[in-house]
């Protein structure tokens, strides 16, 4: 079993655009905290982190649960 080295928490932000979240990533080994503003388009496609598109609409599709898809992205890809 892989040891968890990061903790990812999400908070939905009240914004003009839908699917906007504040993501806090805590490195458990060093207690380093990083905060990101993350969003998808209204259909849950594409991924923007701090205003920069990092995944296109064909590369990232959150479906009906954008919070779960964003959490999965951060736990899988940010630890790699």
Name beta bridge partners: 24. Answer: 9, 35
Give residue 51's pLDDT. 94
Give residue 14's pLDDT. 85
Give residue 6's pLDDT. 83
Q: What's the pTM? A: 0.83
- Condensed to tens digits (0 to 9), the pLDDT of residues 26-79 reads 988 888 999 999 999 988 999 999 999 999 999 999 988 899 999 999 988 766
- Based on C-alpha coordinates, what's the Rg of the chain? 13
pLDDT at 1 over 50: no
Burial category of 27 from C-beta neighbours within 10 Å (exposed 0-12, middle 13-18, buried 19 and up): middle
Give residue 27's pLDDT. 87
* Structure tokens, 18: 């839908």
């Amino acid at each position: 079993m892989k040891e968890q080295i990061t903790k990812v928490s999400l908070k939905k932000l009240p914004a003009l655009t839908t699917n906007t979240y504040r993501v806090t990533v805590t490195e458990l080994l060093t207690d380093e905290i990083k905060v990101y503003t993350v969003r998808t388009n209204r259909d849950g496609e594409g991924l923007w982190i701090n205003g920069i598109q990092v995944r296109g609409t064909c590369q990232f599709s959150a479906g009906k649960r954008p919070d779960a898809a964003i959490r999965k992205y951060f736990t899988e890809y940010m630890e790699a």
